[in-house]
Structure formats: structure tokens, C-alpha cells
Amino acid sequence: MASAPLISDEGLKSVRPGRSAAGDKLPIYPTPESIPTVTLIETPNPIVPYITESREAVTSVLAQARGYLQSGVGSWIGFERKVEREVKSVLPADESLTPGLIYVLIAGLSGSVLTRTRSLPIRFLAPPLFTLAAAPYFLPKTSHNIRKYLSDVEDRNFPELAARHDHFVQTGVAHFNMTLGRLSDAGDSAKEWSHTAFEKVENTTGLKLGQVVERAEKEKERIAATIQQQQKIDQAKASSAVDYERVGYIVEQKPVAEVVVPVVPEEKKRAV
């Protein structure tokens, strides 16, 4: 006899364990029909676009800052290398700065001391003029390199001023050579005038002044030739000097310390 279905107090049919609402027996394993379909709906966060934009902006700013920093470092390294090359080109390797630079500074200070009672322009211009005048004497190669470097800078950056400067220098050199030529001509004229004066004095007084001057010149030439010959003899003696070669050393040996040990006295044998 089949059992009657159970009725709840509310008048509804109850579901037995392991059975469906229709009373069918449920399967042990899940079936595709029994698995519910899960649908995922992606809902974007409204803050995500703002975060993305901010991150991209910060990344761009950092990249630009890094580029500027690398460019600045590269420019500074290039500037250091350029300064190093220019300093090496100005300072010669075979000329030391330590004694000569001190002498140049002392010359500048001497100019300031010597003109301390003069007017203000002279007191202002004397130290640099003394320094510029002493530099070629105490540091000839360094001064030449500095002048060459300044001339190259002037030719590269100020070509018009360099052309005017060269023209001024050439004009000064031409005037200097012209002055030397005039002085030489004046010397020749003075010699001719003195020779004419000597002849007139000789003709007037009968004194042989020309012979005296000629003898003095010959004596001067003879003394100069003697000095030159003596210098040659001294050079020949110096070149023919005997060279010595070191073949050994003589070392004097002396005692440095004295080592002593205690002496144990020997026992004397007694006769029995």
C-alpha cells in the first residue's frame, strides 16, 4: 500500500529529501540543466580614467625631467672636457708655473708700490702693465700660448674686430720698422758727418784723429776676436773632458751591536 503524501499544517505538499518538487528522484551528479547560468556584467569604475590620465601625466613629467637632467649632465661633462683641453693647450708641459708666476705677481705688486704716490690713473694702470711686461720674460711659452688663444677667440667670435686689430698691429710694426730705418740712416749720416769732421780737423790742425779712431776700432776688433777664440778653446776643452764610469762601491762595515751570554763556571774536580 503506497504511503500518502505528507501535508503540512498550511495545507501544502512537503518535499521529501532526495526528491524534486514533483516527487522525482534527484540524480547523484549534477546535470547541465541543473547548473544555473551565471552572467557577469563588467561595470567600470568611474575613477579609473582619472587615475590613468594622472599616471600618464606623471610619467611624462618624470621622463622630461630625466631627459633635462641627462642633457645637463652631458653638457657639463662636455664643458669640463673643453676647459681641460683648452687649459692643456695653453699650459706647456716643459714650462713650470711655480717660480715664474710668483715673479710675475711680484712685478705687479712692485708696480703698485712704485706708483703709490702718483695720480689715480697711473696707480690703476701700473700693476697690470708691469704684470703684462713681466709675463713674457718669466713665462715666455705660456704668454705666447695665451696670446695665441685670445687671438683665436677673437678671430672666431669677433672677425671684424680681429681684422681691425691685425691692421693696427701691422701698422704699428710698419711704423716701428720705419723708425728703425730712420735711426739706421741717422747713424750712417752721423758716421759720415763725424768722418767729414775728422777730415776737416785733420786738414786744419794737422792732427791724425782718423788714425787714432782707426787704431781704437782695430784694437776693439782684436779684443773681440781674442775673446771669441778663448771661448772656442774652452768649449773644446769641455767637449774633450774625460768621462768616468761607475764600476762599483766601497762599503765600510762597522759593528752595530754586541751579543753576550752568561758564562757558567766549571766545577773543579777534587782528588779523593
* pLDDT one-digit tens code per residue, 87-97: 888 888 888 88
Are 76 and 118 contained in the same domain?
Answer: no
| Any domain includes 182 | yes
User: What are the residues whose beta carbons fall under 8 Å from the beta carbon of 119, sequence distance 6 or more?
Assistant: none
| Any domain includes 251 | no
User: What is the number of domains present in the chain?
Assistant: 3
Angstrom distance (rounded) from CA 90 to CA 148? 9
| Any domain includes 267 | no
Are 82 and 100 contained in the same domain?
Answer: no
Angstrom distance (rounded) from CA 156 to CA 169? 18
Of 57, 90, 123, the one marking the end of a domain is 90
| Any domain includes 133 | yes
Are 214 and 179 contained in the same domain?
Answer: yes
Angstrom distance (rounded) from CA 163 to CA 158? 9
Of 90, 119, 146, the one marking the end of a domain is 90
Angstrom distance (rounded) from CA 208 to CA 137? 47
Per-residue pLDDT of the chain (272 residues; tens, 9 = 90+): 444 444 444 445 577 777 777 777 877 777 777 677 778 888 888 898 899 999 999 999 999 999 999 999 999 999 999 888 888 888 888 888 888 889 999 999 998 898 888 888 888 999 999 999 999 889 888 888 888 888 888 888 888 887 887 778 788 888 888 888 888 887 777 777 777 776 776 677 666 666 666 777 778 888 888 888 888 887 777 666 556 666 666 656 666 566 666 776 766 555 55
Question: What is this structure's pTM?
Answer: 0.43
Angstrom distance (rounded) from CA 37 to CA 90? 88
Which range of residues forms the domain containing residue 128?
Answer: 95-157
| Any domain includes 220 | yes
